[in-house]
Amino acid sequence: MKEDILEQLTEDYLNHYGYFTMTNVKYRPPKDDPDYNSRQDSVASDIDVLAVHPTKSGINKVIAVTCKSWQSGFWPEVEIRSMMKTVSGRVGWKRYRELWMPIWSRAFQAKVAAFTGTDSFIHLTTVTMVGDLKAQAKGKSPDTSAWESCPRFRDNLPGCQFRVLALQDMVGALQSELTTTVANSSLSRTLQLMKTIGVELRRMPPPTWLTA
């Protein structure tokens, strides 16, 4: 089991759709980068999940995942604004360094290319939920378009696409496809057992960008 349960669930989800995965892939900017600053660039970060599909040829052949398992939910526009601020001594962009800081973007893209052979991929942020339960109950969950079309992300990671995927969407897609055949991942098997005892969650199709 991974240290972060959302990483494990994301890995299981991508495995279900035929992706081979690696977790906690370390990377950091090289010291010869002209923007290198030893005070903020010397400690490695990691790609939570790096997924490669053996038969796909489009941009969704490779998915690089950042997991944010916050119980308070994920608010895309709030998170984008937070990258420009320092709160309680914590610099906001450090939570998303590969998206916000060009030197880290270059290092991130280079690491993905080194492992997969391509620098065009889907950057996926998986979250517990978009918004929170109160917002969902009122039909006011924030959409993810601000995140998925953020100009700064696009400038820093050219040739990539940006997606957000919530845990409830992952679970809903898998639950829609379950049969009585014993599943080959922890997440799918857990959902099978939940279904056996009468617990079923909202069913939904997987996102088209994943299955295309």
Query: Is pLDDT above 60 for 2?
Result: no
Q: In the chain, how many domains are there?
A: 1
Residue 179 counted as domain residue: no
Residue 197 lies in a domain: no
Determine, yes or no, domain membership for 81: yes
Find the domain containing 93 and state its range. Answer: 5-168
Owner of token pair 């604004």: 81
Instruction: Report which listed range, 39-43, 188-192, 193-197, is most confident.
Output: 39-43
Q: What is the mean pLDDT of the chain?
A: 88
Whose tokens are 């950091």? That residue is 28
Say if 198 falls within a structural domain: no
Query: Looking at 44-48, 122-126, 172-176, which range is the least confident one?
Result: 172-176
Question: What is the per-residue pLDDT across 143-155, written as a single tens digit (0 to 9) for each?
Answer: 899 999 999 999 9
85 pLDDT band (50/70/90 cuts)?
Answer: confident
Higher pLDDT, 181 or 2: 181
Is 68 among the domain residues?
Answer: yes
Q: Is residue 196 part of a domain?
A: no
Domain membership flag for residue 71: yes
With respect to residue 192, please indicate whether it lies within any of the assigned structural domains.
no
